């Protein structure tokens, strides 16, 4: 149900295809700042953090309110004391964990490298270094088909542009998987500050400690894109 959900309209469409509630009624709640604040202490920008991807059974006649209440119950069940303690140790709120996990979810499909990637972002957050996360630019652009981001994209004025703004964006850029959430909670402690997609298109990434190392990795990736004639 929650695969590739990035924006509220996608969530409403996916959910209401499985329950009686129509997408308009769910969208009305997902965009109602007062309702979300009063009931879940969330906003339209942060409501994605309420949804924990899993297999759920719903009665067909579940209402829009009923769906969100169920997600709140499952969210509270997921956030065990152990997970809450790990978030505190990382100096992150549950929302911040979900937001960072959503970036990692969009960065890689390789669960094995997610803790290392989380460690890079934690290092940058702790060092006051902009995250410079490309998936946040795609979210700001609203164009998820872009395969090659350009310098002009890094100038877009948006709170989701992590090249211009330090810290985390105002909310998740997708519904992150449990693997991505747990990767943040169990992030690798290392001294890497950069990563870049490997030039072999394997889906894995090269990690670097210095900008010089990263620039070499980035150039190899750019060359690989050029060879395949991927220009956007």
> Considering the chain, what is the average pLDDT of its residues?
93
Residue 1 within any structural domain of the chain = no
- Region 14-19 average pLDDT: 87
Residue 14 within any structural domain of the chain = yes
pLDDT per position as a tens digit, 114-157: 999 999 999 999 999 999 999 999 999 988 877 777 788 889 99
The pair phi, psi for residue 139, each rounded to 5°, is -65, -45
Element (H, E) at 13: helix 8-16
- Whether 204 and 96 map to the same domain: the answer is yes
Q: How many domains does the chain have?
A: 2
* Amino acid 60: pLDDT: 87
Residue 213 within any structural domain of the chain = yes
Range of the domain at 56: 8-78
Residue 232 within any structural domain of the chain = no
* 8 A C-beta contact, residue 160 and residue 169: yes
- Whether 114 and 155 map to the same domain: the answer is yes
pLDDT per position as a tens digit, 19-71: 888 899 999 999 999 999 999 999 999 999 999 998 888 888 899 999 999 99
- Whether 119 and 220 map to the same domain: the answer is yes
The answer for residues whose C-beta is within 8 angstroms of residue 108's C-beta and 6 or more apart is 114, 117, 203, 204, 205
Q: Which of 78, 112, 134 is the C-terminal boundary of a domain?
A: 78
Name the maximum alpha-carbon separation found in the chain.
Answer: 58
Residue 84 within any structural domain of the chain = no
Token couple for 83: 């997970």
* Predicted model pTM: 0.93
Is the pLDDT score of 1 beyond 70?
Answer: no
- Whether 44 and 123 map to the same domain: the answer is no
Is the pLDDT score of 231 beyond 70?
Answer: no
Residue 157 within any structural domain of the chain = yes
* Amino acid 232: pLDDT: 66
- Whether 67 and 181 map to the same domain: the answer is no
Q: Rg of the chain over CA atoms, in angstroms?
A: 18
Percent of the chain whose pLDDT exceeds 70: 98
């Amino acid at each position: 149900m929650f695969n590739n959900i990035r924006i509220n309209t996608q969530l409403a469409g996916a959910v209401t295809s499985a329950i009686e509630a129509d997408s308009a009624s769910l969208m009305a709640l997902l965009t109602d700042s007062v309702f979300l604040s009063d009931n879940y202490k969330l906003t339209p920008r942060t409501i994605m953090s309420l949804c924990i991807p899993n297999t759920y059974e719903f009665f067909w006649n579940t209402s829009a309110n009923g769906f969100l209440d169920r997600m709140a119950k499952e969210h509270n069940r997921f956030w065990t004391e152990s997970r809450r303690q790990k978030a505190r140790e990382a100096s992150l709120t549950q929302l911040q964990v979900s937001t960072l996990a959503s970036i990692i979810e969009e960065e890689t499909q390789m669960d094995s490298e997610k803790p290392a990637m989380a460690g890079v972002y934690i290092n940058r957050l702790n060092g006051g270094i902009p995250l410079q996360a490309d998936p946040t630019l795609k979210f700001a652009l609203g164009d998820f088909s872009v395969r090659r981001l350009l310098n002009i994209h890094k100038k877009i004025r948006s709170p989701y542009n992590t090249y211009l703004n330090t810290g985390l964006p105002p909310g998740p850029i997708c519904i992150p998987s449990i693997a991505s959430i747990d990767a943040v909670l169990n992030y690798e402690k290392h001294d890497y500050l950069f990563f870049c997609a490997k030039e072999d298109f394997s889906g894995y990434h090269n990690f670097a400690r210095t900008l010089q190392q990263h620039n070499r990795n980035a150039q190899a990736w750019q060359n690989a894109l050029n060879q395949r004639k991927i220009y956007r």
